[in-house]
Amino acid sequence: MQVMTDLFARIFGDGLSPVGLLVAGGLTMALIMALVMASCAIVFTWAERKVAGFIQSRYGPMRVGRWHGVLQPVADMVKILGKEDIVPRDADKPLFLLAPFVIFIGSLMAWAAIPFAPGFIAADLDLGLFYIFAVSSAATIGILMAGWASNNKWSLYGAARGAAQAVSYEIPLALACIPVVMITGSLNMNDIVVAQQGGIWRWHFLHDPFLFVAFLLYFVASIAEVNRGPFDLPETESELVAGYHTEYTGMRFAFFFLAEYANLFLVSCVATAVFLGGWQPLFGPVFLPGLVFVIKAVLLVLLQMWLRWTLPRLRVDQLMHVCWKVMVPLALVCVLGAGIWMLATGQAG
């Protein structure tokens, strides 16, 4: 946000009070983040369909927008916004109407602490990483609300699975980040990225073997956290029809959709910032930081898509087994190992 307030200060000079600057800068950043979210939904739906097509030896969208169906997501959005907004008769109406926005807001808020470039961060919080994990778990409440309010047994199943999964996988997700926090000694996202300056060998995922494992753990847990294949248990179209958003239509369904892709990008951005050096290039001085950051995050997203379209889905008990009996212990070992590594290499201060 510093960038924005500075920008406004330069434009308006003394015309705006410090409070005014703060408000203007904050609003502009919020707008940019909302746009990022919306555009990543649009870009990623198209990318998902192209990736799926590529993997499945077909084309994917080819018509709308002449070149490889680039305008397909726009057409989809126009269509989906034009749909009737149906609320089932026996639904719990307030909760039903509210749920999509709760999910959406949960991921929107987390965007505030993502450092896209030096200084280009909506809220440079000292507890940035902690904040991200805290607010993104609000989406679980939205999932439960949606599933309960739909008054549909399949939705309820999806919600129960979704809540259990999100709550469980948050633990390895957060634990995997702890070694990084130990090394940098800070939860501030900016500090974490800055600590990885100086080429790929300084990035956290190559810091020591434990951190490499931690990175893999984070990546797997993040797929589960955003409910995507092979961990898409809450949706499982072959079992639960569509899970917690079975009953949603039109605009409200679009919000679930938006939140899914925004979350997908969000966890990739966090992985980029925490493990993959953020805006730091592979080598040499900082160069087009925002672009470097986005490229890294997008590559992670594409990797997640690749997994989704290749692997079958786990069963719900296997999912929990993987989390509690494999990933949580491994993450704890990583925390311990990273600590010992620090002691041994004399980094502990």
Q: Give the footprint of other proteins on this chain (CB under 8 A).
A: 52, 55-58, 153-154, 157, 229-230, 232, 236-239, 241, 309-318
Q: How far is the CB of 250 from other proteins (least distance, A)?
A: 20
Least distance between other proteins and beta carbon 289 (Å): 36
The CB-of-258 to other proteins minimum distance in angstroms stands at 22
> Which two three-digit tokens encode residue 269?
């951005």
Q: 18-55 vs 2-12: helix axis angle to the nearest 10?
A: 130
Decide whether 144 or 292 has the Cβ nearer to other proteins: 144
**Which is nearer to other proteins, 14 or 317 (by Cβ)?**
317
- In the block, tokens 């805290």 appear at 134
Q: At what angle do helices 18-55 and 72-81 cross, to 10 degrees?
A: 110
C-alpha torsion 309→312→316→319, nearest 10: -80
Cα–Cα distances in Å, from 340 out to 121, 192, 204, 214?
Answer: 33, 20, 16, 15
Cα 182 to Cα 208: distance, rounded to the nearest angstrom: 13
The 3 state secondary structure assigned to 228-256 is CCCCCCCCCHHHHCCHHHCCCCHHHHHHH
End-to-end Cα distance, the chain? 31
Nearer to other proteins (CB atom), residue 17 or residue 238: 238
Q: Shortest CA distance to 94 belongs to which of 156, 148, 158?
A: 148
- Cβ distance to other proteins smaller for residue 17 or 57: 57
Looking at beta carbons only, is 2 or 318 nearer to other proteins? Answer: 318
State how far the Cα of 161 lies from the Cα of 159, in Å rounded to an integer.
Answer: 5
Q: Which is nearer to other proteins, 93 or 315 (CB)?
A: 315
